[in-house]
Amino acid sequence: MAGFLHVDIKMFTPIKAQNSSRDSPPVTNIMFLKTHKTASSTMLNILYRFSESHNLSVALPKDSMFHLGYPWLFVAHFYVEGMEQNGPQNHHFNVMCNHLRFNFPEVQKVMANDTFYLSIIRNPVFQLESSFIYYKKYSPAFRRVKSLDQFLADPWKYYNVSVGLKNVYARNNMWFDFGFDNNAQAEAGYVHRCLSEVERQFQLVLIADYFDESLVLLRRRLRWQLDDVVSFKLNVRSQRTISRLTPESQERAKSWCELDWQLYQHFNRTFWAQLYAEVSPRQLREELAQLRARRRELTTLCLQDPEPKNTTQIKDQNLLPYQSGDAEILGYNLRQGLDNATLHFCQRMAMPELQYMAHLYSLQFPDKPPKNIPLRKK
């Protein structure tokens, strides 16, 4: 891979975590809780690429499913291909990273005891704005309003708890993804117990608002190489489908999603504490510069145009992103004339999550019918 461009070889060697042996291998047993609208599709691509390049097994959705049972609480034998109800209890996969609603005892049936657990969260103001556009036609709470500002002015006028799981995207969606009640009261004792539970179960919670800093820390914790974490932004929306909330609406969003807000505040603090426990400010600047330089180089190497394109402009169907709600999801065109090895690498970098999941499914389960990927749903 270093042959693609002339770069410092340090960029392709693993960074050793503090107190680790010089010969420590990269972490290969990983459970990533994929939360919604938090740059998690980009994270999924990183994990898929690492899994494929290291010949790791991935816990994939069963049969024709695309998620691991979401929004239902995760149950291993219901939702994971290869996990049978009466099968062996030690049938473990290396990587688990598709959408699920976290259920620790059931996840433990799928993953080895030494699994590294991580997730990612985002400022709930921006997470809710993204969810509103993406799930506008799915969530009953969002269908009757023209804007998120209108919804937040009187959310209980549109939000009905009795509707059930279709409304999980409209309030405290990240809290729900971690397995908790998104409609619970934000009572101090309850919140503290839940946050403590997340801290016990997850070694690392990344912050989407500081994505590059998150990748620096992730690379160190997993002892990976730089190209393992370099990525293109995936599942990104066009600017015309991004709303600018009023200051009043931003404060209302924090109050409406108070559980998510407390989750975010807590793990934003712990993230920076963990990061600066491992790197000095100077080291962080250097590693961020390396990461961004390599991303620019791979952008030049792989992409016809660094700016993502809408679906009418994307030439390769394998690179067409799934469309949802009122969002316009963008994707990429690859440069022409790439040699086979470079083309393979660049395709994986730019491949949307549904196509990549279907690709891995066919590799792992060649005797099963392939996944039928919907691309243009609106």
CA neighbor of 132 nearest in space, from 158, 102, 170, 167: 170
pLDDT of residue 378: 36
State the CATH number of the domain containing residue 254: 3.40.50.300
Collapse the DSSP code of 305 into the 3-class scheme (helix H, G, I; strand E, B; otherwise coil) and give the result.
coil
pLDDT of residue 86: 55
Distance CA 189, CA 249 (A): 27
pLDDT of residue 2: 39
Distance CA 214, CA 221 (A): 11
Q: How many CB atoms lie within 10 A of CB 294?
A: 20
Name residue 55's amino acid. N
pLDDT of residue 23: 64
Asked if the structure places residue 89 within a domain, the reply is yes
Distance CA 162, CA 318 (A): 39
Asked if the structure places residue 377 within a domain, the reply is no
CA distance readout (Å), 318 to 77, 172, 323, 334:
30, 33, 14, 11
Name residue 192's amino acid. H
Asked if the structure places residue 6 within a domain, the reply is yes
Asked if the structure places residue 47 within a domain, the reply is yes
- Which tokens in the block code for residue 179? 């397995």
Residues 125, 250 contacting (CB under 8 angstroms): yes
pLDDT of residue 164: 82
pLDDT of residue 283: 98
Asked if the structure places residue 34 within a domain, the reply is yes
User: Domain total for the chain?
Assistant: 1
Domain encompassing residue 346: 2-364
Cis-peptide into 14, omega within 30 deg: no
Low-confidence ranges of the chain (pLDDT < 70): 1-23, 85-90, 375-378
pLDDT of residue 204: 98
Asked if the structure places residue 152 within a domain, the reply is yes
pLDDT of residue 84: 75
Name residue 79's amino acid. Y
CA neighbor of 173 nearest in space, from 17, 333, 371, 35: 35
Asked if the structure places residue 82 within a domain, the reply is yes
Q: How many CB atoms lie within 10 A of CB 86?
A: 5
326 half-sphere exposure, CB direction, 13 A CA radius: 19
- Which tokens in the block code for residue 326? 């009122």
